[in-house]
Amino acid sequence: FHIFTKRERWFVIVIIGVAGIFSGLSSNMYFPALDQIATLNLSIDLRTLLSARQPSVSLTITSYMIAQGISPLIWGSFSDTIGRRPIYIASFSVYITANIALSYSPNYAVLLIFRGLQAAGSASTVSIGNGVIQDISPLAEKDFFIAFYQAIRNFSIAIGPVLGGVLSEYLGFRYIFVFLLIRSSFVLAMIVLFLPETLCAIVDNGSLRLTGVYKPFV
């Protein structure tokens, strides 16, 4: 049993829902740029900048998927021991760093390496979000919270290719990462300011006083 009120629980669910969109969004927004490369329907700037052939650029999907599969195992185990909030902050810091590098993308190596780092930073938000739901949800509300959380994530997966296509077509592929950088920085600010620690091993049922990194600024 958690002492959060229903309004407080919903506030937390909305924050983790917004935080959980980046794994699917980062993957799907990138696909339109790959399609341009595959069909050779791209600007000279993009081909010259990346200096990569189609099979090589396709490896950036592989690096993303590998990191996406492995990183939640690492982040998730840490979140079960040192807390949800510190891992949210750490993983978003990694994700933001990756997007900064990707927004420059001076060569193929940077694109390949930091796409993997981007996945490592974003994929953990899904498993940590599920952990938060388990922490704070009464049994009667748990299924609905999970469904709401998944609905937000699924919407981001559906809208990703549209956003990626528009940005890459009119502004260039770098602006996909600029967009993700701005959005993720805003979400990290929300987490730092408002998201409390929820892991029962640290806060019990929410009645223990939060200090240090576990305490939201507001």
Residue 74 is part of a domain; what is its CATH number? Answer: 1.20.1250.20
Residue 28 within a domain = yes
Residue 76 within a domain = yes
Q: What string of pLDDT tens digits covers the 218 residues of the chain? A: 578 888 999 999 999 999 999 989 998 998 888 766 555 433 434 445 455 555 567 788 888 999 999 999 999 999 999 999 999 999 999 999 999 999 887 777 788 889 999 999 998 898 899 999 999 998 888 999 999 999 998 898 899 999 999 998 898 888 999 999 999 999 999 999 999 999 998 988 777 888 889 999 88
Which residue is listed with tokens 């953990």? 124
Residue 207 within a domain = yes
Count of structural domains, the chain: 1
CA dihedral of 35, 38, 39, 40, whole degrees rounded to 10: 110
Q: What is the pLDDT of residue 87?
A: 96
Q: Which residues contact 210 (CB under 8 A, 6 or more apart)?
A: 196, 197, 203, 216
- pTM listed for this prediction: 0.89
Phi-psi region of 207 (alpha: psi -120 to 50; beta: other; left: phi over 0): alpha
Distances (CA, A) of 181 to 77, 89, 108, 145: 26, 15, 20, 27
Q: Which domain holds residue 35?
A: 6-214
Q: What is the pLDDT of residue 67?
A: 93
Taking the C-alpha atoms of residue 153 and residue 13, their distance in angstroms, rounded to an integer, is 12
Residue 1 within a domain = no
Side chain identity at residue 131, one-letter code: G
